Structure 1
Amino acid sequence: MEKIDIQKVRADFPLLRREVNGKPLVYLDNGATTQKPKVVIDAITNYYSDMNSNVHRGVHYLSQISTDAFEVTRRKVQEFINAKEDFEVIITKGTTDSINLVATCYGKAFIHEGEEIIISAMEHHSNIVPWQMLCEEKGAVLRVIPMNAKGELDMGAYANLLSAKTKLVSVTYVSNALGTINPIKEIIDLAHAINVPVLVDAAQGIQHLAIDVQKLDVDFLAFSGHKMYAPTGVGVLYGKKDLLNAMPPYQGGGDMIKEVTFEKTTYNELPFKFEAGTPNIEAGICLSAAIDYINELGIDNIKAYEDELLAYATNKIIEIPGVQLIGEAAQKSSVLSFVVDGVHPYDIGVILDKLGIAVRTGHHCAQPVMDQFGIPGTVRASLAVYNTKEDIDNFIAGLNRAVNMLV
């Protein structure tokens, strides 16, 4: 394992050099989106400068090189998550799109009245609402794995929820609101013991943890490019080929067809069956550059560095009177979610912003989590590989200032 050269890494991200409100930027909102390294920004410029064309449907030179670059990304993703086949990688708009694809297509084929879908109490709204919509449509039942006061799933309760009625389990790998790293392999193994497939929302895990879909034996995996240093508007759905082949298409249009007549349409093979219309070509191609960047640093090196930062930040923040951490799981990723006694999270966020410190406030699209803790929301500082202990020190100084002003 190699030590991250943090100054070299920071030099790769142009936006980190700017000021906000006359102060050096301290960017701690990486759970919402990450900044982009210059290699990704250059890849965006290169696409529009040198190869801009539609993909998969042109015989001319520009279309061919754009298609080749787009398909390189698919193979890079395959290698990054260790998928068995490149056609098991579906390019989508993002995690939300990927989950909705499964809810729509798997749901249409395999979910019936009275059957059950299991999610967890710490899900992002994107892994709650699509299943609620499906259950309402199909007359199915949504079951929820409870969590304890530390923000850890009750695995005994989960085992008891699994039954002959269960048709799918869909859970987050890492909680965006709490930072909890869930025991995904155990969740999958328990479901597979009764032949139930599992979808994993890896939006908050893909940039922090090494994920091997074959080792996990996961059935579906969803994640977004913009959480892992790539542009917005592109994401991935990995699915086992037998499941993907058994599911009907998500949308109708170009590329997802084999033959079209007014009487009958036949559908394309994987992965194109689920990729109707012109994709976000630029973002799809540039996801490849982001994966290369992560691979160059090494995902295990990134995790080790971020774990060190999280421990440093945790030790600092618990010393501030009136601050209560929300989410204290034994296994955590790079999230500090907290409240201050007697102070609304929004007010903390506004003061920190005046000091050039970017954090997220509110329920983080995880309102049921906030309801369980009996709070309106939290302040969330979420870390990335380019953050430093100096960032943490500036954040802690700003938080102390905010607390002294507001309490």
Structure 2
Amino acid sequence: MLGVSGGIAAYKACELLRLFTESGHAVRAVPTAAALHFVGEATWAALSGRPAATETWADVHEVPHVRIGRRADLVVVAPATADLLARAAHGLADDLLTNTLLTASCPVVFAPAMHTEMWEHPATQANVATLRARGAVVIEPAVGRLTGADTGKGRLPEPAEIFEVCRRALARGTGGLAPDLAGRHVVVSAGGTREPLDPVRFLGNRSSGRQGYALARTAVARGARVTLLAANTALPDPAGADVVRVGTTVELQDAVLKAAADADAVVMAAAVADFRPVTYVTGKIKKKEDRDPEPIALTRNPDILAGISADRPRPGQVVVGFAAETDDVLANGRAKLARKGCDLLVVNEVGESKAFGSDGNEAVVLTAGGREVPVPYGPKEALADVVWDLVAESLG
């Protein structure tokens, strides 16, 4: 069931509805009276292939205010205005959408959209906290252009990213149970750091950031507040994650230390450059036809994973590392786990068409307690869910 409340972002819900129907889902649109001022009833009916449900008093013999919520496998409200969140948090039932929310026993996802001041108001934040405590997933809004010339946090995330959160929520099917990471703050690093040689060249790696983004998306769907530290990625921001962009290893270290101060878990999925040039050349290094290039002297970068594992800013914090290996995968992974001091280490073999840049991954998750959890090849979200299962187990 797609609920739509009365905000200018209602037009984006049309694309979300299309994503659901094109992936094989049957969708019943339930727009509020205010939403119909932005997008008409005929549009919702045409895109869903079934009549839009707009009135509590229509088809009373079918008891729509009870039937729609009971039959749904997922309820998503996008956009969810401040008014809708307030009514849902307080259990009001003054229209068909809020009635449906009270009868739904399936996962419920809210995608808020409003002006920054409205989102940050203590009343809205209290309502969001109430909904999350009851088991709903409330996606953090994006930062960007709002109505008029205003810019800030409160923008509806892109429909494709909302769809990914909903897809993960459907896959888990938690129903009325609170998501297992609700109330938790997790930090995820993704991508690959780059160390500049000159204004046009860098020392880096082939990481695309896909695994880290999958970790961020699945954590949002499981109720966590997510800070994503993105190093040189070209991927769209995951819905609900606060994205911090970094370039070099030193910049990533600073971002990790800042974000981890109140985090329950830190997952270092980024491929971090072990070395950086001793000297940065301010002008482009020129090719000289009559001689070989000068050697490039390197120095070690800080070991972020070992540092955060040894000096955790918060008691009970769970730290997860990644190990990309090309040979003796498990032996090297066990040695790295002992050397870094983290709680979990995700070990995978990399190479041509393996891990980097692909949509799938396979790995073995090693625990500090000696367990080995193999994850067969599959979507990177599947590996992400195994990681979060183990993190949730460690957090208790």
Same fold (TM over 0.5): no
Q: Which of structures 1 and 2 has the larger relative contact order (alpha carbons within 8 angstroms, sep 6+)?
A: 1
> By percentage of residues, which structure has more helix?
1
Instruction: State the structure with more CA Rg.
Output: 2
> By percentage of residues, which structure has more strand?
2
